[in-house]
Amino acid sequence: MKYAIVLPDGAADFPLPELAGKTPLEAARIPNMDWVSSHGMLGRAVTIPPGFTPATDVGTLSLLGYDPHECYSGRAPIEAAAKGLAARPDQMIFRCNLVAIEDGRMKDFTAGHISQPEADRILADLNDALGADGCEFHSSVSYRNLMLLADAADMELTCQPPHDIPGRPVDGLWPRGRGAERVGEVMRRGALLLADHPVHRARRGRGENPPTHIWLWGQGRPTALESFRSRHGVSAALITGVDILRGLAVGMGIDLIHVPGATGYIDTDYDGKGAAAARAAKDYDVVIVHVEAADEAGHMGDAAEKVTALERIDEAVMGPLLEELRRHGDFRILVAADHPTPVGSKTHDGAPPPFCYAGTGVASNGGARFTEAEALGTGLFLDQGHLLLPAFFAAQR
């Protein structure tokens, strides 16, 4: 038996006026996802348990069969695992975004999707300026970076994800709790460094959003995860363009397959991902493909781009995967969104997103297209999202 799992990040949404009252999934031409929906089980799952912030880390943990209540300790430690970073007992790991704040509002949580060389230069200068104060900055991908803070083991903080506050005033949204004064001071010193930084000046001169601040959030310490093979009894490989998924893979003992053009943005190499997934399906029991593009389009507030992303996932990833799986014989394929990223709000939402799976031994429960409304209409609802993957595997055992 071969298995495939396709994770279109942030695919779910709500009806949009610019799409004539349709959601992006309803407006998109996605025949392969629709085939899975109409030939198998279609429903909804609670991927973000009550009390958790809607985000890819929590949602993907659920979709891969892990209860966030038991094994989630923060986003930054997961991303640190992807970089091979280990925290000392006294250190706290933070996600460190390079952001653009203007007139007191979060103008751009990506600092204009700052280039890698620009981000690397800024992180090196931050280390020079703040390293003596226990700050250890690590460059990652574009605006997404990490900071390890010494003498911080006893901190208990609430920090706001910057992608959840696009256009909003940041006053009152700085870190809160034990240790907040120190973390806030690091952020203020970062802003002073960036105010006259060469990268800032060059980007502003080109009319691009400049990095004005560092934004610290997603803090935590590493938590050990049971291996995917031990939990589910199968070998697995994962394809992604973002460190949060790479970190989960490292923690779960899932092999990572690198695709050079996988950017974690709307310009990702869909065809490269699809081809790599089809090849991996020959060698592994399970191939998992994560595509960030629909989520990024949601954050951009761009309905047309989100439709395009969904159509490209269907054509370039789902198409080759289904072709290879059918060639093999017995197979099952799951399509599941980790959370909605509504175009209207430009941020994540905790509403239960749709899922569908089909293949050998799976009967249809009456669904048709892979849409939010169709999933609601079947009545299939899992109030604990981490039970979805065991159900996906169960009929084959």
User: Per residue in 79-116, pLDDT tens?
Assistant: 999 999 988 999 999 999 999 999 999 999 999 999 99
pLDDT of residue 91: 96
Instruction: Say whether both 209 and 239 belong to one domain.
Output: no
Residue span of the structural domain in which 261 resides: 2-72+225-394
Instruction: Say whether both 148 and 266 belong to one domain.
Output: no
Instruction: Say whether both 13 and 108 belong to one domain.
Output: no
Which residue's entry shows tokens 């992303």? 309
Which among 220, 244, 275 is the end of a domain? 220
Q: Is the pLDDT of residue 396 over 70?
A: no
Instruction: Say whether both 108 and 185 belong to one domain.
Output: yes
Q: Is the pLDDT of residue 395 over 80?
A: no
* Residue 31: CATH number of its domain: 3.40.720.10
pLDDT, tens digit (0-9, with 9 covering 90-100), for 30-45? 999 999 999 999 999 9
Instruction: Say whether both 272 and 386 belong to one domain.
Output: yes
Instruction: Say whether both 164 and 215 belong to one domain.
Output: yes
The H-assigned helical ranges of the chain are 24-27, 31-39, 56-63, 68-71, 75-82, 116-130, 180-195, 198-205, 228-232, 243-252, 270-280, 293-300, 303-312, 319-328, 372-378, 388-394
Q: How confident is the model at residue 66 (pLDDT cuts 50, 70, 90)?
A: very high
pLDDT, tens digit (0-9, with 9 covering 90-100), for 116-160? 999 999 999 999 999 999 999 999 889 999 999 999 989 999 999
Report CA torsion sign: 201, 204, 206, 211.
positive
Query: Cβ distance 363 to 70 under 8 Å?
Result: no
pLDDT of residue 73: 85
Instruction: Say whether both 156 and 271 belong to one domain.
Output: no
Percent of the chain with pLDDT over 90: 94
Q: Quote the number of domains for the chain.
A: 2
Which residue's entry shows tokens 């009456």? 366
| 357 within domain boundaries | yes
pLDDT, tens digit (0-9, with 9 covering 90-100), for 334-377? 999 999 999 999 999 999 999 999 999 999 999 999 999 999 99
How confident is the prediction for the chain on average, in pLDDT? 96
Which among 178, 194, 220 is the end of a domain? 220
| 13 within domain boundaries | yes
pTM of this prediction?
A: 0.87
Instruction: Say whether both 239 and 214 belong to one domain.
Output: no
Instruction: Say whether both 60 and 98 belong to one domain.
Output: no
| 114 within domain boundaries | yes
Neighbours of 89 (CB within 10 A): 6
Q: Is the pLDDT of residue 397 over 50?
A: no
| 14 within domain boundaries | yes
pLDDT, tens digit (0-9, with 9 covering 90-100), for 258-310? 999 999 999 999 999 999 999 999 999 999 999 999 999 999 999 999 999 99
| 121 within domain boundaries | yes
| 38 within domain boundaries | yes
Which among 202, 220, 238 is the end of a domain? 220
Report CA torsion sign: 54, 60, 65, 71.
negative
Helix (H) / strand (E) element for 40: namely: none
Instruction: Say whether both 40 and 90 belong to one domain.
Output: no
Kindly state the tokens that stand for 235: 């070998």
Report CA torsion sign: 174, 219, 348, 304.
positive
Instruction: Say whether both 179 and 90 belong to one domain.
Output: yes
| 77 within domain boundaries | no
Instruction: Say whether both 229 and 178 belong to one domain.
Output: no
Kindly state the tokens that stand for 322: 């289904």
